[in-house]
Amino acid sequence: MVCSPITRPLEHGWGEVVSTIRVSPGVSRGLRGVEAFSHLAVLFVMHRARYSERDLVRRPRRRRDMPALGIFAQRASCRPNFLGLTVVRLLGRQGAVLEVRGLDALDGSPVLDLKPHVRAFDSPGRPLEPEWMSRLMAGYF
């Protein structure tokens, strides 16, 4: 479960948010060795997200200077599946509690899985992004 100071969605600024992830005692032994990694991929439920069919095609952050795109071509929370996936910086571990930076999950969000960020799997050599993405992300982190 996510413990965060953020209780309502933010449009930007998630990159500086420090939160904790509390792992269930029954599986906390599975964290052994995780502190050797700098980053983790966190799969979580966006438990307070809302979705309607009009969200299938929309402008990112509802900005007029952005193109109208399908929801699967953007990272918005109004998704039909309510799943969030974020790579975060691991700041530390105390037993079953992980302190992380950059998790865009609200306080109380259930965590489904954690994986170490591994360059060979998670960082393709030359990923392509459309021009609008750099404008959208300017000042985000």
Q: Write the CATH number for 79.
A: 2.40.30.70
- What residue numbers bound the domain in which 41 lies? 2-137
- Consecutive H or E run containing 99: strand 97-101
For 14, 53, 55, 108, the CA distances from 103, given in Å and listed in that order, are 7, 26, 23, 12
For the segment 18-31, the average pLDDT, to the nearest whole number, is: 96
pLDDT over threshold 70, residue 21: yes
For 11, 67, 100, the CA distances from 62, given in Å and listed in that order, are 10, 10, 28
Provide the domain count of the chain.
1
Q: What is the pLDDT of residue 45?
A: 94
Question: Hey, what are 86's tokens?
Answer: 């974020």
φ/ψ of 14, rounded to 5, equals -65, -25
For the segment 106-125, the average pLDDT, to the nearest whole number, is: 92
